[in-house]
Amino acid sequence: SVDEDAHDEL
């Protein structure tokens, strides 16, 4: 699950 502030960049 991806919470809203997950960092999507490596």
Q: Which residues bind other proteins (CB under 8 A)?
A: 1-3, 5-10
Instruction: Please tell me the distance from the alpha carbon of residue 10 to that of residue 4, in angstroms, as a whole number.
Output: 16
Q: How far apart are CA 2 and CA 10, in angstroms?
A: 15
Give the C-alpha separation, 10 to 5, whole Å: 14
Give me the least distance between CB of 3 and other proteins, in Å please: 7
Least Cβ distance, residue 4 to other proteins (angstroms): 10
Q: How far is the CB of 6 from other proteins (least distance, A)?
A: 4
